[in-house]
């Protein structure tokens, strides 16, 4: 008996359900994961933003010619359980008059929130700051959001040669 109880505690599914500590499900600020690549002409940032539906809730701002701030908010998904159809509900014994009133005015049924067993997805406000090793062309940066992935392409600034005469 003790060995079967011990094997239950070592079961990976049991451990995942009981001992898992999610990164952020509380709506507190979090940092989405990004990959940053350097090409000969630009820096490419790709970030995971699953659940970001409204592009207006995403802000990309250059604070100087080497730093970009990516901030926004991912709303918590709303999952509701639909109420049971009337034929599946258990009828209680009611006085005849109350039953007649209900037939005239059907009850409005509210959807219920399901009991959550595991919540690992992050939501709420987020903010990431990236500093590039050289100046970048902030005027020609381009961003796109597709399938929950943000892609930001930031061209490198071409160094201008400037000759200074000695007086």
Tally of domains in the chain: 1
- In CATH, what number is assigned to the domain containing residue 138? 2.60.40.790
How many residues in total does the chain contain?
167
Residue 160, token pair as written in the block? 């201008």
Kindly state whether residue 29 falls inside one of the protein's structural domains.
yes
Kindly state whether residue 4 falls inside one of the protein's structural domains.
no
Is the pTM of the predicted complex or chain greater than 0.75?
Answer: no
Q: Among 70, 62, 67, 54, which Cα is nearest to 128's?
A: 70
Can you tell me the distance from the alpha carbon of 120 to that of 162, in angstroms, rounded to the nearest whole number?
Answer: 54
Kindly state whether residue 37 falls inside one of the protein's structural domains.
yes
> Which residues on neighbouring strands pair with residue 19, listed in sequence order?
none
Kindly state whether residue 146 falls inside one of the protein's structural domains.
yes
Kindly state whether residue 13 falls inside one of the protein's structural domains.
no
Residue 116: the pLDDT is 79
Please give the residue range of the domain that contains residue 67: 22-76+119-157
DSSP strand pairing (124-131 vs 67-74): antiparallel
Q: CA separation (Å) from 2 to 5, 8, 11, 15, 18?
A: 5, 10, 14, 17, 19
Could you give phi then psi for residue 90, rounded to 5 degrees?
A: -85, 125
Kindly state whether residue 30 falls inside one of the protein's structural domains.
yes
Residue 22: the pLDDT is 42
Those residues of the chain that have pLDDT short of 70 are 1-28, 80-111
Can you tell me the distance from the alpha carbon of 106 to that of 12, in angstroms, rounded to the nearest whole number?
Answer: 47
Kindly state whether residue 94 falls inside one of the protein's structural domains.
no
Give the residue ranges of DSSP H helices in the chain: 2-10, 12-19, 96-104
String of b and e for 106-122 (b: at least 16 CB within 10 Å)? Answer: eeeeeeeeeeeeeeeeb
């Amino acid at each position: 008996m003790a060995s079967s109880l011990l094997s239950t505690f070592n079961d990976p599914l049991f451990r995942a359900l009981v001992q898992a500590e999610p990164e952020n499900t509380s709506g507190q600020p979090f940092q989405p994961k990004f990959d940053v690549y350097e090409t000969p002409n630009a820096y490419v940032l790709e970030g995971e933003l699953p659940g970001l539906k409204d592009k207006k809730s995403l802000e990309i701002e250059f604070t100087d010619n080497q730093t970009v701030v990516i901030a926004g908010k991912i709303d918590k998904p709303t999952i509701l359980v639909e109420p049971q159809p009337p034929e599946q509900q258990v009828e209680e014994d009611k006085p005849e008059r109350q039953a007649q009133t209900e037939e005239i005015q059907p009850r409005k049924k509210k959807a219920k929130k399901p009991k959550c067993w595991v919540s690992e997805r992050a939501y709420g406000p987020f903010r990431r700051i990236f500093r590039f090793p050289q100046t970048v062309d902030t005027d020609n940066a381009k961003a796109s959001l597709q399938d929950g992935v943000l892609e930001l392409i930031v061209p490198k600034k071409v160094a201008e040669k400037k000759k200074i005469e000695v007086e």
